[in-house]
Amino acid sequence: MALNKYLDVSPEVAEALANGRPVVALESTIISHGMPYPQNVETALAVENIIRENGATPATIAVIGGRLKAGCTKEEIEYLGKAGTNVTKASRRDLAVLCARGQDGATTVTTTMIIAHMAGIKVFATGGIGGVHRGAETTMDISADLEELAHTPVMVVCAGAKSILDLGLTLEYLETHGVPVLGYGTRELPAFYTRHSGFSVDYQVDTPEELAAAFRASLELGFEGGMLVTNPIPEEYSMDPAVINAAIDEALAQAKANGIHGKETTPFLLAKVKELTGGDSLDSNIQLVFNNAKVAAQTAACLAGK
Q: What is the 3-state secondary structure (H, E, C) of 189-204?
A: CCECCECCCCCECCEE
Q: Is 27 known to be catalytic?
A: yes
CB-count burial class (<10 Å; 0-12, 13-18, 19+) for 44:
buried
Nearest to 27 by CA among 8, 40, 12: 40
The helix (H) or strand (E) run that includes residue 24 is: strand 23-26
Question: CA-to-CA distance for 178 and 36, rounded, in angstroms?
Answer: 36
Phi-psi category of residue 305: left, alpha or beta, with phi > 0 → left and psi -120 to 50 → alpha = left
Q: How far is CA 29 from CA 109, 241, 267, in A?
A: 8, 25, 10
Q: How far is CA 119 from CA 45, 108, 278, in A?
A: 21, 16, 39
3-class DSSP state of 270: helix
Catalytic residue among 27, 48, 76, 148: 27
Taken in order 114, 93, 292, 51, is the CA torsion positive or negative?
A: positive
Catalytic residue among 89, 162, 272, 294: 162
Q: Is 220 known to be catalytic?
A: no
Q: Which residues are catalytic?
A: 27, 162
